[in-house]
Structure 1
Amino acid sequence: MTLPRLRHLLTLDGLGEARLHALLDEAEAMLPHARGGTALRQVLAGRTVCNLFFENSTRTRSSFQLAAQRLGADVLNFDVGASSVKKGETALDTFRTLEAMGVEAFVVRHAEDGAVAALADAAGPGTALLNAGDGRSNHPTQGLLDMLTLRRHKGRDFSRLSVLVVGDVKHSRVARSDLQALRQLGCRDLRVCGPAALLPGPEVLEGCTVGQELDAMLEGVDVLMMLRLQRERMEEGLVPSLEAYFADYGLDARRLARAKPDAIVMHPGPMNRGVEIAAEVADGPRSVILEQVANGVAVRMAVLSHLLGA
């Protein structure tokens, strides 16, 4: 079955198992080219991609820039600090201005939920929008690169996996996208663990086993997805102290031993070492954190190529 091309990628919710695997297959094919080379430079030659980031980013922005360049696109990196946004211009007016200059694809990160979808609604017929993170709602390419990493280590059959997501799920757009993808890919044992104040509502946790005792939740899991404690998004008092958080929810070697012997450890970054994860685990043999970063370039190459119809 041939799936119709997506115009935008705003969320993973509702894409379905076939679409998700198709995008992951495209990314897998891009992997040999993600680290460099010129073999795919004609794929997006003459096309223009804008990284329109209203929030700071290291991994996502750099990854999208490299992905577009690997495909031969012209890349415009938008600097909010040096733009008319500082003079009061709205995100929509900024978007329309750049679109009028011939930008065909916008990679957008914004602090507000739904901001990228609002720009997509205003886009012209030849313009593609790619959500690089909006508020606490969605981060679809992070979800895809996590699924690619997981699939390369554990195979295509997600139904046999036990996956544990740990930490600040309430404020995490990564967790939302990962859970959306895992449900659609057929994962039957989805576990979520964190302090009650950092757990979201039941609509996010649909189909998940939820608990607050990390040691118990770790038993027999195949995959551990550790989340960053997003202090910039939370009200005061949700965590008594960083030391107390690590004592209850930090992943160290002792706790990791409760998981399956071949369990892998993931983290979307940036990591707070000694808060969510111990250095011995982050840098240990079970960690695939840097592999996630590397896979992100291939995933973003695949999505850009797909959205622009290359």
Structure 2
Amino acid sequence: MTTAALVKQRSLLGLKELGREEIESILDRAAYWEASPNKIEPVLQGKFIANMFFENSTRTRFSFEVAEKRLGAEVLNFSAAVSSVQKGESIYDTVRTLESMGIDAGIIRLKPIGVLADLATKIKVPLINAGDGNNEHPTQGLLDLYTMRKQFGELRGLTVSIIGDILHSRVARSNLYALRKFGANVQFCAPGSMSAPELDAPLVSMEEALKADVIMMLRVQLERHESGIMAGAEAYREQYGLTAERAARIASHAIIMHPAPINRNVEIDDELVEHPQSRIFPQMQNGVPIRMAVIERALT
């Protein structure tokens, strides 16, 4: 196998093109890391990983950093807000510069769609997508699948309702692409102005969505609604929020999920965030072993 082909194989740009067996191997390896009694296993000692975030992030960036440090890697954190990107340097030049300094892998979050795929053809180290525009967020999709698998044992036959801003959601896309490979039934519930017909998944009413095994609420991305696409937070909550009254009607075996950060009392009522059926904080916890598995896959 050529070096370029090997780098591409070890990169993780999205779940749409990743096979079921490869996804399963990542989930299985994450289970290994979750069960590990040691906080640090220096399997990547001497490796340098750059966290390159050209778009703001807190949870994803810290989750990757914890995963990298648990694997014993040297971590370089890059923020576009304090970099030469502010002075007009291109994303390509920034990544190429870090590559030339000797990094072994790059974790990248950026806003424009298509840039990451293009970068991956030019950069000679594995790249891991930490979220690109409204395209994909593969490690979030993987940790969501991992959370569901831990809860239900298997994914086949599950009905998963993804509710909210589908149009701008990379999380919805990664979950849709991956869950279908395992025989799960994915359905969307969204206002017409936030739907994405090109994704070819059933669009159901809120009442129907609440009958699912998994109720996955999406963050209302206020920063992406500059054109007045949303009528208002209270109106959204009334029509599409998971209120306490609606949560009382979900099945006793069903779980509530959310990729966070959470707009409390908009897409989900405050009292439901840590409800017995909520898996929101376990999702965040599961992000570390998932990202350990993905980083290890890239570098070993």
Give TM class, smaller chain: over 0.9
After superposing on structure 2, the runs of 4+ consecutive aligned residues of structure 1 that deviate more than 6 Å are none
Q: Take 1:97 and 1:173, find their aligned partners in 2: how far apart are those partners? A: 28
Deviation, structure 1 residue 235: 4.0
1:175 equivalent in alignment to 2:172: yes
Contact 1:171 1:234 survives alignment (8 Å): no
Contact 1:33 1:70 in 2 (8 A): no
State the match for 2:50 in structure 1: 50
Asked if 1:215 is matched to 2:234, the reply is no
Task: Say how many residue pairs are matched.
Answer: 294
Tell me by how many angstroms 1:33 deviates. Answer: 4.0
Are the counterparts in 2 of residues 9 and 131 from structure 1 also a CA contact under 8 Å?
A: yes
Residue 302 of structure 1 aligns to which amino acid in structure 2?
A
Q: Which amino acid is the alignment partner of residue 101 of structure 1?
A: M
Residue identity opposite 1:178 in structure 2: N
Aligned with 2:271 (options 241, 256, 280): 280
Compute the displacement of 1:240 (Å): 1.1
Displacement, 1:29? Answer: 0.6
Q: Distance in 2 between matches of 1:239 and 1:77?
A: 34
Contact preservation (8 Å) 1:253, 1:280:
yes
- Which range is displaced more, 226-235 or 71-80? 226-235
Could you tell me whether the CA contact under 8 Å between 2:237 and 2:243 is conserved in 1?
A: no
Question: 3-state SS of the aligned residue for 2:262?
Answer: coil
TM-score, length of structure 2 as denominator length: 0.94
Which of residues 176, 186, 189 is equivalent to 1:190?
186
| Mapping of residues 1-310 of structure 1, within 5 Å | 6-33=9-36, 37-38=39-40, 40-41=41-42, 43-124=43-124, 127-156=125-154, 158-187=155-184, 189-202=185-198, 204=199, 206=200, 208-211=201-204, 213-219=205-211, 221-309=212-300
Paired letter, 1:276? E
- Residues 228-258 of structure 1 show CA distances to partners (whole Å, capped at 9, x for unaligned) of 0112123422221110000000102221233
Does the aligned pair in 1 maintain the 2:209–2:215 contact within 8 Å? no
* C-alpha separation in 1, matches of 2:284 and 2:294: 16
Q: Equivalent residue of 1:86, what SS?
A: helix
Structure 1, gaps ≥5 residues long: none
